[in-house]
Amino acid sequence: MLKDVILDEPGKRVFLLGNEAIARGAIEAGIDVFSAYPGTPSSEITDTLNSACKHLRGRMEYRMEYAVNEKVAFEVAIGASLAGKRGMTAMKHVGLNVAADSLFSFAYVGARGGFVCVSADDPSMHSSQNEQDNRWYGIAAKVPVVEPSSVGEAKEMVKLAFDLSERFGLPFILRSYTRLSHSSGIVELGEIPEKRLKKVRWERHPDTDVVLPAHARRLKPILQKKLADLEDFFTSSDINWVDEADGKRGIIACGMSYNYAVEALENLGVEMPVLKLSSMNPLPRKLIADFLANLDEVLVVEEVDPVVELQVRAMAKELDVEVHGKMDGYLPENFEYNVSIVQKGIARLGGKSYDYAHLLETAKSMAEIAPPRPPVLCPGCPHTATFYAIRKVVNELGNASLPSDIGCYTLGINKPLEAVDITICMGASVGTSNGLSYVLDDAIIATIGDSTFFHTGIPPLVNAVYNGNRFVLVVLDNSTTGMTGHQPHPGVDARGCGEKGHAVRIEDVCRAIGVRFVEVVKSYNIRAMEDALRRALKHDGPAVIVSKQPCAILWNRERKAKGIRITPFEVGEGCMECMKCVREFTCPAIYIQDGRPVIDPALCAGCGVCAAVCPYRAIKPAR
């Protein structure tokens, strides 16, 4: 909880969410600048630092901002570091793809003030489009990666990463993952430093900070030397340790997998030596070699890819140690681990029996009892109305391509709307529309959220204007970053730390870059949206419709705060049970009872879109 994150009682033990612990670590480390774009499972780091900065103002000051995308956030933190200040950014794993260009070059330049990038991976893809393992980025970019195994260690490792970043002149990646970011645990509080965010004079270092080819060729060996020195440090660091035990079989457990391994050993009643690793890059090879030297077999436990296993296999050849893990099927290659999965692998290593199949069968039978609950757009969601209008116009056309983007509006893929055909990554709805426009006879109606428009939607729209590509882009403007927790973005007049911002209007941006068809339509006005779509489809070039209505959750919250009574709608006597409100529209507040549609007043947001959909005008405000 926030009150514990900002509590100034060193030594007190509190219960924090993993992401809150990371934020607390940043505060104790005395960060100067934090910049991020929200993305699950990293968002609470940003939101916690956003809330904390207001409470700490005057005691411990830092600059906090919501950036337009991850690359910008990364570069904001770079700027702070090069000025000698501590800079930090946080993002979900795919966000590092956006920031990768800056990551690779900054490794050569090196940190001056401490630099930490939190990358929150998402094993099992709970809220992501892929399951990438960002430890590869550390290896490829020659950037250190550390990985905590508990909530308490996460807080301490943030501080350590800042210290080591300054000591070795390297940017650091702290890898978290869903199960750590969203778990809670005991954290012992350290001291919150008293500091003001003081501006400093710029000191030029063009020989390191400007990565001209000649400079970069000289900087690469220096970077390699820094990593070699850091590897020596990691070999004796207390973030890596060995749980001693007898036997010729052992376990190398990485990050949070260490906890699974320890519990699995207890469940099986088996003792094996365990090497707990938190430094993922560079690996402490001497420590690993010493551990392997006493073993015949070792099991590597890690999520998501066999990053450590591959390297251990290369080392083990010289030591004649047999290595097990993902690559030989002792552990699954895909998805998130848990104690049972790891226990199965350890049981196989130890020659023990473990009826995992029975466990899965029991879990399956229990899952079948629970009713299926597919994710749906919220009651009163303005996207539902927009998608309904798009589907209606597409049905008139007979066919159309419907690229979309990353956000809660991806749920427009579901029946009966079926208004999403393609979703690749942030901004790709506009990018793929450019390509589709070259090869399709059918119309193209793309959708993108307002935050995503600013994130990566503008450059491909510029491309469309420049090349004269013909498609319709509907910007689903709900005045927030909805999916990750309602963070602000450049389109609203709020900034981080509760400061007032200068809103950038999407329609102004579109007109400024040369889009000649730009219209703003209220999302709940289905007829206006249909008319705008039909006109936009006739436009020879890119056409933009901004579908504007606040997110229903925020809209409800605002009305309740003002004391405005929300009047629900109800299905009246005139209902002919045609079921159009269910079959063609969709709203979680509408359900079927005794063969008739009924509206749940507790869920109804009072938007009235269902009343506009009903052909018999049987849906009206409740009396």
Closest by Cα among 47, 88, 131, 64 to 333:
131
- Which is more confidently placed, 366 or 139? 139
Contact 90, 117 (CB under 8 A): yes
Least confident of 296-300, 443-447, 573-577: 573-577
What is the predicted pLDDT for the residue at 475? 98
Residues marked as binding? 575, 578, 581, 587, 604, 607, 610, 614
Mean pLDDT of the chain: 95
321 pLDDT above the threshold of 80: yes
Residue type, 132: Q
What pLDDT band is residue 358 in, cutting at 50, 70 and 90? confident
What pLDDT band is residue 416 in, cutting at 50, 70 and 90? very high
237 pLDDT above the threshold of 90: yes
14 pLDDT above the threshold of 90: yes
115 pLDDT above the threshold of 80: yes
The answer as to CATH 3.40.50.970 being correct for domain 1-235 is yes
What is the predicted pLDDT for the residue at 40? 94
Would you list the domain boundaries of the chain? 1-235, 241-367, 382-559, 566-621
Within 13 Å and on the Cβ side, how many CA atoms surround 170? 28
Contact 123, 181 (CB under 8 A): no
Residues marked as binding for [4Fe-4S] cluster? 575, 578, 581, 587, 604, 607, 610, 614
3-state secondary structure of 548: strand
State pTM to two decimals. 0.93
268 pLDDT above the threshold of 80: yes
428-439 and 458-467 are packed helices; what angle lies between their axes, rounded to 10 degrees? 20
What is the predicted pLDDT for the residue at 413? 95
* Distances in whole angstroms, Cα of residue 285 to Cα of each of 121, 231, 277, 299, 316: 24, 8, 11, 16, 11
Task: Decide if 241-367 and 382-559 have a common fold.
Answer: yes
- Encoded tokens for 479: 């005045």
Give the mean model confidence (pLDDT) for residues 290-318: 96
Task: Starting at the earlier edge strand, list the strands of the sheet with 472-477.
Answer: 400-401, 443-449, 472-477, 543-548, 517-522
What is the predicted pLDDT for the residue at 354? 83
487 pLDDT above the threshold of 90: yes
What pLDDT band is residue 623 in, cutting at 50, 70 and 90? confident
Q: Which residue has the tokens 């303005």?
A: 382
Contact 74, 87 (CB under 8 A): no
3-state secondary structure of 552: helix
13 pLDDT above the threshold of 90: yes
264 pLDDT above the threshold of 80: yes
CATH architecture, domain 241-367: 3-Layer(aba) Sandwich (3.40)
Bridge partners, 254 (sequence order): 277
* Distances in whole angstroms, Cα of residue 253 to Cα of each of 79, 261, 265: 36, 7, 12
Q: In whole angstroms, what is the distance from residue 497 CA to residue 457 CA? A: 26
Least confident of 104-118, 363-377, 603-617: 363-377
Is the Cα torsion angle 424, 142, 115, 219 positive or negative in sign? negative
CATH architecture, domain 382-559: 3-Layer(aba) Sandwich (3.40)
The answer as to CATH 3.40.50.300 being correct for domain 566-621 is no
500 pLDDT above the threshold of 80: yes
What pLDDT band is residue 365 in, cutting at 50, 70 and 90? confident
388 pLDDT above the threshold of 90: yes
371 pLDDT above the threshold of 80: no
95-109 and 70-82 are packed helices; what angle lies between their axes, rounded to 10 degrees? 20
What is the predicted pLDDT for the residue at 240? 98
For residue range 125-184, list pLDDT tens digits in order.
Answer: 988 999 999 999 999 999 999 999 999 999 999 999 999 999 999 999 999 999 999 999
If one counts every other C-beta atom within 10 angstroms of the C-beta of residue 249, the result is 19
What is the predicted pLDDT for the residue at 41? 96
382-397 and 526-538 are packed helices; what angle lies between their axes, rounded to 10 degrees? 50
No. of H helices and E strands in the chain? Answer: 24, 23
Give the mean model confidence (pLDDT) for residues 566-581: 94
User: How large a percentage of the chain has pLDDT more than 90?
Assistant: 93
